[in-house]
Chain A
Amino acid sequence: MRKTLLPTIIIVSSIILLVRLFYLQIIDDTLKIKSENNAIKIKYDFPERGYIYDRNGKLLVANQPSYDIMVVPSEVKNIDTLEFCRILQITKDEFLKKIEKAKVYSPRLPSLFLAQLNKEEFAAFQEKIRKYNGFYIQKRSLREYQTKHGANVFGFITQVNDAIIAKNPYYKSGDLIGRQGVEEAYEEILRGVKGVKYILKDKHNREIGSYKEGKFDTIAQQGSDVTLSIDGDLQKYGEELMVNKRGGIVAIEPSTGEILALVTAPSYDPALLVGRQRSKNYTRLYNDSIAKPLFDRGLLGEFPPGSPFKILTGLVGLQEGVIDTETSFICRHGFSYGRGSFMKCHCPGGVIKLHFGIYESCNSYFANTYKRTIEKYKKPKDGVNAWANHLKSFGLGNFMGYDLPPGRKGHIPTSKFYEHFYPNGGWRSTTIISNSIGQGEVSMTPIQLANMMAIIANKGYYYTPHIIKKIKGRKIDSKYTTKHVTTIERRHFEPVINGLFDVYNMGTAAGLRVEGLEICGKTGTAENFAKINGKRVKLQDHSEFVAFAPRKNPKIAIAVIVENGYWGNRWAGPIATLMIEKYLNKKITRKDLEKRMLEGNLNFEYRKLYTSKDSLHKPKLTKEDSIRMKIKSKKEIEEDKKKAKLAKDSLKKKAA
């Protein structure tokens, strides 16, 4: 007993120590995490974001340096708060709030304290930074825009929010991310990959070298430059034409599906959303719920397509074999589709064939065509579905899959929709006759309209519209080089194109001709309504115009919508043809028209939406508004009518 006690104690107590060590070193993980918090600091190296060029190689978006102040709350101590706040021009309350917010995120990890200082602010702060324990500077690059246009195309850069951090582990508090437009769509390409450095620090938080000789460190990968299919000049011109109007322009190159211009109005200078003023400006833009400058009307605006939709009704009719180019209907200034139900028509009337129907935009003709299409099938259900299937092959009623934030689907009703709407049945072709002329239940976005024109220009196929032209060092997604063929046979397009050419030549848009350019287009006037004080009120019609040009070997397909712009050739038509002229000829011959469009102002129309009920019918005109009104309403329109008449006469003579 006396001999063995000490050896026993030695062995037993050593085993106790080992068990305890085993627990601490192998079972308990909390100590390892504490150790990393203690000794390892993660530093990020943010690569420069890729540049953005237009299709002609013109630089649109570059970078400028900016400096963020980061804070590690647990390390903040003994700082002169007053001086600190004075240098950064913040109040003490803001200071405390920001520290508190950072603490909530993590007391030991760096959080963003103040974002995007400019060079002068940075210089003032840098002198003193040694005195401020727990704060350090993180250099980043900010966008620098070489243009004042295209804000909706580019999108903007913003700090990641908590939802993104939770979803994507790449992003950490204070990181920047592209939102909307190209910046969002090509975020990963433009952003590159940030470099990570693990740095050992000692108990005084001094850096004492790299962790494991940098075994886990990664080098930042530069973001790639991208070239957009946008034509910078055309985009700029489009935005200028849309000043003081609301609406959208989408221009597409039919042979490739490349988006040449994507205009929304009102827009804003992209530089507003850069730097420390970003969040203030963003809030202001965001809160403008009337003009909605952040709302990309080209992608998000769903409008009843109106007359341009008649082209599709015609094409479907041809494909279904219910009409041919010689089929004629009689128009008695309208179409009667039931007791007391009459659809008015503004065309000259008489016996009407497809060609005339298109260029005079005859409601009766297309109502008849639509009726026949639906009634070709025994059940209206099958008819509607057959019709909808044709339209869906045009990319309607669905997201188009373009490389911008997805926008809206638009709507093409199917039998399901009507069965839900009329659960007891009883609906037939005439119930839904409004669809024939692009009213009723159909709706389209401007980009769908533009794509529709691209399909017609291509005679039956299209490439998914896209804004990317080239990415440095890699190919663009193959889905943008894949041909989509519609259900309409190629031969049916020829007569329709002829009709569209005469719209411009001698039809509803005859006043818009450009010397030497053969434009195929279609005007549109879309009814629209709003609820004001609980009442459904008919508002001023939207002005629409769709077109492609030149007639042979088309280079541009375009859709223009001007909200509350009265009728098609009043605003949208001139703007569309100016755009085409600009793009194809690089210069404008119709200077007067151009001037009128540039200076045109529809703000008084928009004011109706939010002024009192009585003023709806008597819009109060401001001084500048009224001047423009007179110029437009009398002289120009008279002239347009004369021109149209002359053209018609000459055509009739030729035919005779």
Chain B
Amino acid sequence: MKNQSVSSSIDWITILLYIILVIFGWMTIYSVTVPADQEYTFDFSQNYGRQLMFMIITIPIIFTILFVDSKIFERFSLVFYIVGILLLLGLFAFGVTKKGQTNWYQFGGFGFQPSEFVKTAVALLMAKYLSDAQVNLAKRNFQYIAFAIIGLPVLLILMQPDAGSAMIFLSLIFVLYREGLPGWYLWTGAISIATFLLALIVKPVFLISFVAVFMVIHYILNTKISRNPLVYLIIFISISSFAFSVSYVYDKVLEPHQKDRINVLLGDDVDMKKEGYNLNQSMIAIGSGGLLGKGYLEGTQTKGGFVPEQHTDYIFTTVGEEWGFVGNLLVMSLFVCLFIRILYLAERQKTRFSRVYGYCVATYLFTHFFVNIAMLIRLFPTIGVPLPFFSYGGSSLWAFTIMLFIFIKLDANKVNEW
């Protein structure tokens, strides 16, 4: 009977979107990793074969999640979190270093990236913390604890160093905002990023003059908020100093490869054969797809292996090349539907725990999605984050599956919450 209750109460739309994305993802991995002369054959030692095994392993994981008591996730959230933190700490002793990042455990043939799972743990603990009716994010003390929950793993991940994964955690600020964090945090963040980018593009002097003019006009037109000149002055000074410090940091502090990434993004004289190679090849692959693409398994750039890491972080370039703009539109629509569906379900939840967790899931997935695609088409600096359900890798697939299905389980259980 319980079986039936689960199957009748889970959200099949989400599951359907998940299945479509995973299968389409696997087809794309197949196209990237099958050798050109072995099409239509199958070999488990190839990456597409391994990915298929990873996918098969998700089935018991999904069933386990769907059939355990949903209370476990709330009750043991702190345990999960601590385990996660320990795993991150353990990396410094037992981790494997790949491309300068110590973020893997290696068990025989299988790699395991704890930061993928820590995302879920953080989401669970955050949900658990915010589900306490006492917690009010408008107040400083609670804000500090919430920040600490995020901050601890971010710190450890930054030490690996893996800026991309760390950045994903920062996106939880949207969840905190949903749960009552004052809006000026977001504004400050947005303005900082904007200032940062603008400071690199135009000279700080021009930027500051522009800000000054803007603020004067704002002061004159502003009638609602208290017109305290001191506030304006403080804001102005902080923006100016930030803008100048960006220039300074860029010139004196950043490592050459970090500078390269920013230069590549801004299109400043970049050698397309060296630091610009990845991005250049990625754009060529996507751009050559045209409206309808070159056809499945027909991507010349994909077959030629011109795009590096094409089965992991650059997987979406194959979609762009072989399926064209129409394929991109389709895949992106599926993703957006999934995000919106999760958010819709989250808002429907009876408990704050489920709602916060659902929000976390949607935020995580969206941030991965946006950062991953934006970096392929020069809208974002090159940061290695996987595209959920598409990128090759067991850790990533399992982590996203677990993350999503815990929410599906929570959602299915909302009836029993009373």
CA distance A39 to B284 in the complex (A): 11
CA distance A345 to B374 in the complex (A): 99
Within 8 A of A (CB), among B299-342: 300-301, 303-306, 320, 324-325, 328-329, 332, 335-336, 339-340
Q: Chain A 13-36, CB within 8 Å of chain B: the 1/0 string?
A: 110111011101110101110111
Known: A7-B340, A31-B284, A32-B288. A21 touches B300 (CB 8 A): no
CA distance A225 to B110 in the complex (A): 66
Q: Which of B174, B288, B374, B379 contacts A9 (CB 8 A)?
A: B174
B347 interfacial by beta-carbon distance below 8 Å: yes
B379, A20: Cβ atoms closer than 8 Å:
yes
Q: Which of B37, B174, B289 contacts A208 (CB 8 A)?
A: B37
Q: Which of A3, A10, A28, A202 contacts B304 (CB 8 A)?
A: A202
B328, A16: Cβ atoms closer than 8 Å:
no
B373 interfacial by beta-carbon distance below 8 Å: yes
Select from chain B the residue with minimum beta-carbon distance to A32.
B288
Q: Which of A11, A24, A212 contacts B336 (CB 8 A)?
A: A11
Interface size on A, residues (CB 8 A): 37
CA distance A14 to B373 in the complex (A): 10
CA distance A11 to B285 in the complex (A): 25
B379, A5: Cβ atoms closer than 8 Å:
no
Selected interface stretch from B11-19, B73-81, B358-366: B358-366
Q: Chain B 161-182, CB within 8 Å of chain A: the 1/0 string?
A: 0000000000000100110100
A136 interfacial by beta-carbon distance below 8 Å: no
A147 interfacial by beta-carbon distance below 8 Å: no
B236–chain A nearest beta-carbon distance, Å: 26
B290, A26: Cβ atoms closer than 8 Å:
yes
Known: A11-B336, A208-B303. A17 touches B379 (CB 8 A): yes
A38, B300: Cβ atoms closer than 8 Å:
yes
B343 interfacial by beta-carbon distance below 8 Å: yes
Most chain B CB atoms below 10 A, which of A3, A21, A202: A21
Most chain B CB atoms below 10 A, which of A6, A20, A212: A6
A6, B304: Cβ atoms closer than 8 Å:
no
- Residues of A close to B359: CB separation below 8 A: 6
B286, A38: Cβ atoms closer than 8 Å:
no
CA distance A20 to B282 in the complex (A): 14
Known: A6-B362, A38-B284. A21 touches B36 (CB 8 A): no
B340, A24: Cβ atoms closer than 8 Å:
no
- Residues of B close to A35: CB separation below 8 A: 284-285, 287-288, 300-301
B325, A208: Cβ atoms closer than 8 Å:
no
- Residues of A close to B332: CB separation below 8 A: 14, 17-18
A6, B363: Cβ atoms closer than 8 Å:
yes
B348–chain A nearest beta-carbon distance, Å: 12
- Residues of B close to A7: CB separation below 8 A: 339-340, 343
- Residues of B close to A5: CB separation below 8 A: 174, 177-178
B52 interfacial by beta-carbon distance below 8 Å: no
A419–chain B nearest beta-carbon distance, Å: 66
CA distance A608 to B363 in the complex (A): 99
- Residues of B close to A20: CB separation below 8 A: 377, 379
A497–chain B nearest beta-carbon distance, Å: 74
B339, A10: Cβ atoms closer than 8 Å:
yes
B300, A39: Cβ atoms closer than 8 Å:
yes
- Residues of B close to A17: CB separation below 8 A: 332, 370, 373-374, 377, 379
Known: A10-B366, A21-B377. A39 touches B304 (CB 8 A): yes
- Tell me whether chain A's interface is mostly helix, strand or loop, or mixed: helix
Q: Chain B 365-391, CB within 8 Å of chain A: the 1/0 string?
A: 010001001100101000000000000
Select from chain B the residue with minimum beta-carbon distance to A38.
B306
Known: A14-B332, A202-B304. A25 touches B343 (CB 8 A): no
CA distance A200 to B370 in the complex (A): 32
Q: Which of B288, B335, B362 contacts A34 (CB 8 A)?
A: B288
CA distance A7 to B343 in the complex (A): 8
Within 8 A of B (CB), among A377-422: none
A2 interfacial by beta-carbon distance below 8 Å: yes
- Residues of A close to B283: CB separation below 8 A: 24, 31
Q: Which of A6, A13, A22, A211 contacts B300 (CB 8 A)?
A: A211
B221–chain A nearest beta-carbon distance, Å: 22
- Residues of A close to B286: CB separation below 8 A: 21, 24-25, 31
CA distance A212 to B347 in the complex (A): 49
A209 interfacial by beta-carbon distance below 8 Å: yes
- Residues of A close to B285: CB separation below 8 A: 35
Within 8 A of B (CB), among A19-74: 20-22, 24-26, 28, 30-32, 34-36, 38-40
B44–chain A nearest beta-carbon distance, Å: 22
B116 interfacial by beta-carbon distance below 8 Å: no
A62–chain B nearest beta-carbon distance, Å: 39
- Residues of B close to A200: CB separation below 8 A: 36, 300, 303-304
B291 interfacial by beta-carbon distance below 8 Å: yes
A39, B174: Cβ atoms closer than 8 Å:
no
B301, A39: Cβ atoms closer than 8 Å:
yes
Known: A2-B177, A39-B300, A39-B301. A34 touches B37 (CB 8 A): no
A475 interfacial by beta-carbon distance below 8 Å: no
Select from chain A the residue with minimum beta-carbon distance to B365.
A10
Within 8 A of B (CB), among A247-283: none
Q: Which of A6, A11, A16, A25 contacts B379 (CB 8 A)?
A: A16
CA distance A377 to B173 in the complex (A): 110
B289, A10: Cβ atoms closer than 8 Å:
no
Select from chain A the residue with minimum beta-carbon distance to B324.
A25
A24, B287: Cβ atoms closer than 8 Å:
yes
Known: A14-B336, A17-B332, A26-B291. A2 touches B178 (CB 8 A): yes
Known: A5-B178, A32-B290, A208-B36. A21 touches B325 (CB 8 A): yes
CA distance A11 to B303 in the complex (A): 33
CA distance A13 to B305 in the complex (A): 29
CA distance A286 to B150 in the complex (A): 85
A203 interfacial by beta-carbon distance below 8 Å: yes
CA distance A25 to B301 in the complex (A): 14
B333–chain A nearest beta-carbon distance, Å: 8
- Residues of A close to B379: CB separation below 8 A: 16-17, 20
- Residues of A close to B301: CB separation below 8 A: 35, 38-39
CA distance A64 to B325 in the complex (A): 52
Within 8 A of A (CB), among B382-405: none
Q: Which of A2, A24, A39, A203 contacts B377 (CB 8 A)?
A: A24
CA distance A26 to B285 in the complex (A): 13
B139–chain A nearest beta-carbon distance, Å: 16
A11–chain B nearest beta-carbon distance, Å: 7
Q: Which of A10, A31, A209 contacts B340 (CB 8 A)?
A: A10
Q: Which of A3, A16, A25, A38 contacts B347 (CB 8 A)?
A: A3
A201 interfacial by beta-carbon distance below 8 Å: yes
- Residues of A close to B343: CB separation below 8 A: 6-7, 10
Most chain A CB atoms below 10 A, which of B37, B335, B359, B370: B370
A6, B178: Cβ atoms closer than 8 Å:
yes
CA distance A201 to B359 in the complex (A): 46
Select from chain B the residue with minimum beta-carbon distance to A9.
B174
Instruction: Using CB atoms and an 8 Å cutoff, list the residues of chain B in contact with chain A.
Output: 36-37, 174, 177-178, 180, 281, 283-291, 298, 300-301, 303-306, 320, 324-325, 328-329, 332, 335-336, 339-340, 343, 347, 359, 362-363, 366, 370, 373-374, 377, 379
Q: List 23 A-B contacts (CB under 8 A).
A: A5-B177, A6-B343, A10-B339, A11-B340, A13-B370, A14-B335, A17-B373, A18-B328, A21-B286, A21-B320, A25-B289, A25-B325, A26-B291, A26-B325, A31-B283, A35-B285, A35-B288, A36-B288, A38-B306, A39-B304, A200-B304, A208-B303, A209-B37
Which 8 A-B residue pairings sit nearest by Cβ, starting from the closest?
A31-B287, A35-B288, A39-B300, A202-B304, A24-B287, A208-B36, A25-B325, A39-B304
Given A25-B328, A38-B304, A200-B36, 10 more A-B residue pairs with CB atoms under 8 Å apart are A2-B178, A10-B343, A10-B362, A22-B325, A25-B287, A25-B290, A28-B287, A32-B288, A34-B288, A35-B287
Instruction: Using CB atoms and an 8 Å cutoff, list the residues of chain A in contact with chain B.
Output: 2-3, 5-7, 9-11, 13-14, 16-18, 20-22, 24-26, 28, 30-32, 34-36, 38-40, 200-203, 208-209, 211-212
